[in-house]
Amino acid sequence: MAGGSKTFGPSVFQRKKGLAPMLRFIFGRLAVLIPTFLGVSLIAFSFIRLLPGDPVMLMSGERVMAPERHTELMHQLGLDRPMYVQYFDYLGGLVTGDFGSSIVTKRPVLDDFMNLFPATLELSLCAIIVAVLLGIPAGVIAAVKRGTWLDQSLMGVALVGYSMPIFWWGLLLIIFFSGYLGWTPVSGRISMMYFFPQVTGFMLIDSLISGQAGAFKSAVSYLILPTVVLATIPLAVIARQTRSAMLEVLGEDYVRTARSKGLSPFRVIGVHALRNALIPVITTIGLQVGVLLAGAILTETIFSWPGIGKWMVDSVFKRDYQVVQGGLMLIAAMIMIINLIVDVLYGFINPRIRH
Amino acid sequence: MAVAEIKTTKPQTGFAEFWFYFSRNKGAVMGLVVFLIILFVAVFAAFVAPHSPSVQNRDVLLLPPGWTQGGQWTYLLGTDAVGRDILSRLIYGARFSLFIGLVVVTLSVISGVLVGLIAGYFRGRTDTIIMRVMDIILAFPSLLLALVLVAVLGPGLVNAMIAISLVNLPHFVRLTRAAVMSERTKDYVIASRVAGAGTMRLMFLTILPNCLAPLIVQATLAFSAAILDAAALGFLGMGAQPPTPEWGTMLAEAREFIQRAWWVVTFPGVAILVTVIAINLMGDGLRDALDPKLKRS
């Protein structure tokens, strides 16, 4: 790690060198995850049982059902067993990858999730890349030019982005770029003209592999507005966080030392200051994963983007509660895993928290 | 700082000191002014609004704003698809948004502080259980959890507020707990305990007042987040139900007109954005005024 006064080298505090403390750290984190995962599964499990009526009545919908048929179905689905037996059964299913099946389409929830997830992942990755590539430089510039009009306008824009109702922002962009200028399509992932096999599930990559003329351009044009909408809040948050982290670091002694050694301002800011300022920023980026998924619900609904956000909203409205239950579970599990990865990465770049 | 000290003969009261730092932040003062205007408009909506928010005038369907061609000045921001005045609906809508923010913040602050105090004060197994439950809530994207909760409870404004409060809860619990943990081993708390103060007195009168600063800042941010979340739920059809003039619900109704009547879509969003910016500006000002670490700047 660059600079001396703030960060001590790992060797000062760590008795053991190498991977052992890191592994212990990872296992400690995993141990905490297990009760959380059980709790999440309990919530997803009780969710269907909290609804008025029982699953059989929900499945039959409006149709009237004879009491005998109802009892028979309850028995068939194992719903007449004690709650805790049902819960352990459900848990057993989760471990073997059985997340239930859709009431409407009868397809396994896990299959649908796997099919739709790449669309959400592609959109979220593009959004976070845009947010990081624009947000970090904007924050650094604002911090270095502190108090100037440049700082004030950058932070003004960040405040607006941070306060943005993104569902409305999406509608505005559609009105202007799709309606008025006619530049971008309104909904979907790629023009109906193109057909090619799904290889990676990422439309940008698949369209390139297919080699069809114009396919990649079409995919980009469909991706651009949803990316802008989804990136808005993370971009603003990252810019604000980078600015305040930079301001804190720029006041440190080691930065002054670096300056007085005669290093170029670019080197002082870009290497000495930024490297340490990025530590809290990376946590912020990690925390944006949940924000991105919440944003994906709205963004995908507005742009009819066939991802898991739209899938969940549609399932809530179709009262397809098996999908909602399984989807909740899968999404929560994914967020927990991503948070774990962020924690581990954080441990790697910041040895101070590895105790 | 030096000037202020010469001016004041008696020591500054807490509020005077707070106002000194808060008023130095021009953005925060601007946010406060805008917020007070919105509050005024919401409280006196019946006098401020030019029309009723619910009367449908069949003669003026989808009328454009007053300053554009074909608009009428009596309908300053135009009318919606059933001939209701948009400005009046927005003015009445301010009531809902501010009310939502207030209820959500009150609910989540009171329960969050209580739970956080218990966790931070008693530590041990109680703390572990509480924090695991909070981790579980945080494992879901907040909007998704709120959406599913409302689906269970039934769509509507009250249930939306309950759901959003619950989703907000972990932030207050974590914040209170962290503040309590850093305070409870300090000398003044130990002195108070040695003097014979009971658990309740220690928790609520000795420790809590010293943890308030970060909570006030978080409450402001939660206020604006609650307005955004409620509008998002309304937009998805799970919050306030039509014909309630809630801003998000208005946007949901306006969605089908985005190609032919831009004003129906634009103004409710502007109302949400302006309100949220005003509150966030105040939040930034509060943070600067209440955070001693930043005062030196």
Residue A317: its chain B contacts at CB < 8 A? 237
**How sure is the predictor about A19, in pLDDT bands with cuts at 50, 70 and 90?**
low
Chain-chain contact of A51 with B258 (C-beta, under 8 angstroms) = no
Q: Can you give the pLDDT at residue A1?
A: 37
- Averaged pLDDT, A250-274: 82
Mutate to test the interface with A, among B136, B137, B138, B287 (most CBs of A within 10 A): B136
Task: Answer whether B277 touches A (CB < 8 Å).
Answer: yes
Does the distance separating the beta carbons of B280 and A159 come in below 8 Å? Answer: yes
Percent of chain A whose predicted confidence (pLDDT) is above 90: 21
The complex's ipTM works out to: 0.85
Mean of all residue pLDDT scores within chain A = 81
Question: What's the pLDDT score for residue A150?
Answer: 93
Nearest-CA neighbor of B208 among B183, B233, B186? Answer: B183
A79-83, A306-310, B33-37: least confident range: A79-83
| A171 → closest Cβ in B238, B265, B276 | B265
pLDDT at A5 over 50: no
- Between CA A225 and CA A302 the distance in angstroms is 11
Q: Which amino acid is at A225?
A: L
CB contact under 8 A, A312 and B147: yes
Q: What is the pLDDT of residue A300?
A: 93
Determine whether the interchain pair A290/B235 forms a contact, defined as Cβ–Cβ distance below 8 Å: no
Search chain B and give the residue with CA nearest A297.
Answer: B144
Contact B252, A165 (CB under 8 A): no
Q: Is B169 on the interface with A (CB under 8 A)?
A: no
DSSP B213-268: HHHHHHHHHHHHHHHHHHHHHHHTTSSSPTTS--HHHHHHHHGGGTTT-HHHHHHH
* Ranges A12-16, B38-42, B238-242: which has the least confidence: A12-16
What is the number of CB-based contacts under 8 A between chain A and chain B?
115
Rounded Cα distance, A155 and A126, in Å: 23
CA closest to A166 among chain B residues? B232
pLDDT of residue A350: 67
Which residue in the set B139, B235, B281 is minimally distant from A40, CB to CB? B139
Which residues are B79's β-sheet partners? B85
Q: Domain B38-296, CATH 1.10.10.10 — does that match?
A: no
Question: What DSSP character marks residue B19?
Answer: H
* Band of pLDDT at residue B196, cut at 50, 70 and 90: confident
Domain boundaries, chain B: 38-296
User: Inter-chain contact A291–B141, Cβ cutoff 8 Å?
Assistant: yes
Which ranges in chain A belong to alpha helices (H)? Answer: 10-13, 20-50, 55-60, 67-76, 83-95, 109-144, 149-162, 166-173, 203-210, 215-250, 253-260, 265-267, 274-303, 308-317, 321-349
Q: Measured between alpha carbons, how far is A331 from A324 in angstroms, rounded to an integer?
A: 10
Mean pLDDT of A137-156: 92
pLDDT, position A4? 39
Q: What is the pLDDT of residues B208-232, one digit of tens each?
A: 888 888 888 889 889 999 999 999 9
| pLDDT > 70? residue A52 | no
Overall pTM surpassing 0.90 (yes/no): no
Contact A232, A161 (CB under 8 A): yes
DSSP, collapsed to helix, strand or coil, labels residue A101 as strand
Indicate the range of A21-25, A126-130, B42-46, B117-121 predicted with least confidence.
Answer: A21-25
Q: How confident is the model at residue A135 (pLDDT cuts 50, 70, 90)?
A: very high
Of B132, B152, B236, the CB nearest to A35: B132
> pLDDT of A196-213, one tens digit each?
777 777 878 887 777 777
The encoded tokens of residue B204 equal 């609520």
Residue given tokens 């609904």 in the structure block: A301
Q: What is the model's pLDDT at position B297? A: 41
